[in-house]
Chain A
Amino acid sequence: MSDLKENLKAQIIEQLNLEDLTPADIQDDAPLFGDDGLGLDSIDALEFIVLLDSNYGIKIADPNEGKEIFQSVNTLAAYISKNQ
């Protein structure tokens, strides 16, 4: 699971062009969206859907699920582990 989280952080940085961040800057349980976390927005949510599809072969059928899945690296990793 920890390898998956580290890979996810690197992929998030690359996919979202977070040039000023390193994987160490992203806490496992920190919120990804909103001002308290990384400050990601709705276009980033679309990029997450693409990331899950292209890197893990997971399609999110119900967009409403995204709010729960994309809360943090922890929730993303748990969803991937469960659905891959």
Chain B
Amino acid sequence: MYFIQHIESITHQDSFQKDNIWNDLKPLTGENELISPDYKNYIPVAALRRLSTILRMGITASKACQEKVANEFDSISVGTALGCLTDTEKFLVTINTVSGDILSPTAFIQSTHNTISGQISLDLKNHAYNMTHTQNALSFEVALKDGLLCIDEGKNSVLVGAADEAIPFLERLRGSLIETEHPFTSGATFLVLSGEKGNSIACIQACEVYFTNENKATQVEQFLAANNCSFQDLDLILEAGSDFKSQAKKHYSFLKYSGFYQSASAFAVHMANDWLIKNGDDKTILIVNNLESNKLGLTLIHRNDVEA
């Protein structure tokens, strides 16, 4: 078991440093803005001026986790689908429009995906293993599996997270490269995992990713069976779409609450953790990340005080 010691999200919901995000959770409309904390409380002003939204969110959520659990992280694993889009766009526009031999270095340095975990490590002054994973819509699940492997290796306090940022250009891809009815949003969720129970309420029982275009219903059934579980045992299904709505006792499409960003299944973990805090009788939650038609990410969340 991998116990969730703490979890923080910065999203278009009022989700940062809240006792329970379900208290204020509402389906998003296109009008909802990112609800940003005062980043100056977490990042020095001199550094803040260079950081785009995705880096501000990631560093702030990570620092909030660090403050809560106090001990230094033994590893940092981050998932991002599209990475630092603001700086990528800025750099590409500069290449296309600026004459001269020299390009501004800041946007280039901060346009790479691995800036995210690297910058978090720098800001936390953490010298342990850090890695940024990018696997489109399964980026978070791959980072999570990395974190679980770190615990299996004997690491005690593991930071896992995901972050993606929206830029206006994404609207031009709607209907062609990106199919979604949901508004494009930004979001970051970071959680601290440990092999020790501590004061945690929920744990990650298992996480699996599937990159093949096979029958999703079969894959879910096999995943549940491998974890001594069935659809009847699930109290809640959190799903990107609604393929498994008819098989669920309770069902929410997490994209209605997170908006569309490819690593939003990380926010579903926050929803699951806080659901188990709020609903004392519920025990098992399945997160189905079927955001992309040919990929599947499955995460099983369990209440700690119940035998799996």
Q: In whole angstroms, how far apart are the Cα atoms of A19 and B101 in the complex?
A: 27
Q: How far is the CB of B86 from chain A (nearest CB, A)?
A: 12
Which chain A residue lies CB-closest to B50? A17
Q: Are A54 and B49 in contact (CB under 8 A)?
A: no
Provided the pairs A54-B98, A54-B100 are in contact, do residues A46 and B105 lie with their beta carbons within 8 angstroms? yes
B residues less than 8 Å from A15 (CB atoms): 104
Partner of A53, one of B45, B49, B101, B105: B101
A residues less than 8 Å from B149 (CB atoms): none
B residues less than 8 Å from A62 (CB atoms): none
Provided the pairs A54-B98, A54-B100 are in contact, do residues A17 and B105 lie with their beta carbons within 8 angstroms? no
Q: How far is the CB of A61 from chain B (nearest CB, A)?
A: 12
Provided the pairs A16-B49, A18-B49 are in contact, do residues A53 and B106 lie with their beta carbons within 8 angstroms? no
Q: Are A47 and B105 in contact (CB under 8 A)?
A: yes
Q: In whole angstroms, how far apart are the Cα atoms of A54 and B100 in the complex?
A: 6
Partner of A50, one of B45, B46, B50, B103: B103
Q: How far is the CB of B108 from chain A (nearest CB, A)?
A: 10
B residues less than 8 Å from A46 (CB atoms): 105
Task: Name which of B46, B50, B98, B102 has the most chain A CB atoms within 10 A of its CB.
Answer: B102
Partner of B106, one of A18, A20, A47: A47
Partner of A43, one of B99, B100, B101, B109: B109
Q: How far is the CB of A54 from chain B (nearest CB, A)?
A: 5
Q: In whole angstroms, how far apart are the Cα atoms of A15 and B104 in the complex?
A: 9
Q: Is A39 an interface residue (CB 8 A)?
A: yes
Q: Are A47 and B104 in contact (CB under 8 A)?
A: yes
A-B contact pairs, 22 of them (CB 8 A): A15-B104, A16-B49, A17-B49, A18-B49, A19-B49, A20-B45, A41-B46, A43-B106, A43-B109, A46-B105, A49-B102, A50-B103, A50-B104, A50-B105, A53-B100, A53-B101, A53-B102, A54-B98, A54-B99, A54-B100, A54-B102, A59-B101
- Please count the residue pairs between chain A and chain B whose beta carbons lie under 8 angstroms apart in the complex: 31
B residues less than 8 Å from A54 (CB atoms): 98-100, 102
* B-facing residues in A1-33 (Cβ within 8 Å): 15-20
Q: Are B46 and A43 in contact (CB under 8 A)?
A: no
Q: In whole angstroms, how far apart are the Cα atoms of A54 and B102 in the complex?
A: 8
Q: Are A43 and B45 in contact (CB under 8 A)?
A: no
Q: Are A43 and B105 in contact (CB under 8 A)?
A: yes
Which chain A residue lies CB-closest to B110? A43
Q: In whole angstroms, how far apart are the Cα atoms of A59 and B103 in the complex?
A: 13
Q: How far is the CB of B265 from chain A (nearest CB, A)?
A: 32
Q: In whole angstroms, how far apart are the Cα atoms of A15 and B107 in the complex?
A: 11
Q: In whole angstroms, how far apart are the Cα atoms of A47 and B49 in the complex?
A: 14
Extra contacts, 13 of them, besides A50-B105, A59-B101 (Cβ < 8 A), are A15-B104, A16-B49, A17-B50, A18-B49, A19-B49, A39-B46, A41-B46, A43-B50, A43-B106, A49-B102, A50-B102, A50-B104, A53-B100
Q: How far is the CB of A9 from chain B (nearest CB, A)?
A: 16
B residues less than 8 Å from A20 (CB atoms): 45
B residues less than 8 Å from A19 (CB atoms): 49
Q: How far is the CB of A29 from chain B (nearest CB, A)?
A: 21
* A-facing residues in B75-120 (Cβ within 8 Å): 98-106, 109
Q: In whole angstroms, how far apart are the Cα atoms of A16 and B109 in the complex?
A: 14
What are the 8 tightest A-B residue pairs by CB atom distance, in nearest-first order? A17-B49, A46-B105, A53-B102, A50-B102, A54-B100, A50-B104, A53-B100, A39-B46
B residues less than 8 Å from A43 (CB atoms): 50, 105-106, 109
* A-facing residues in B158-184 (Cβ within 8 Å): none
Q: In whole angstroms, how far apart are the Cα atoms of A84 and B105 in the complex?
A: 23
A residues less than 8 Å from B104 (CB atoms): 15, 47, 50
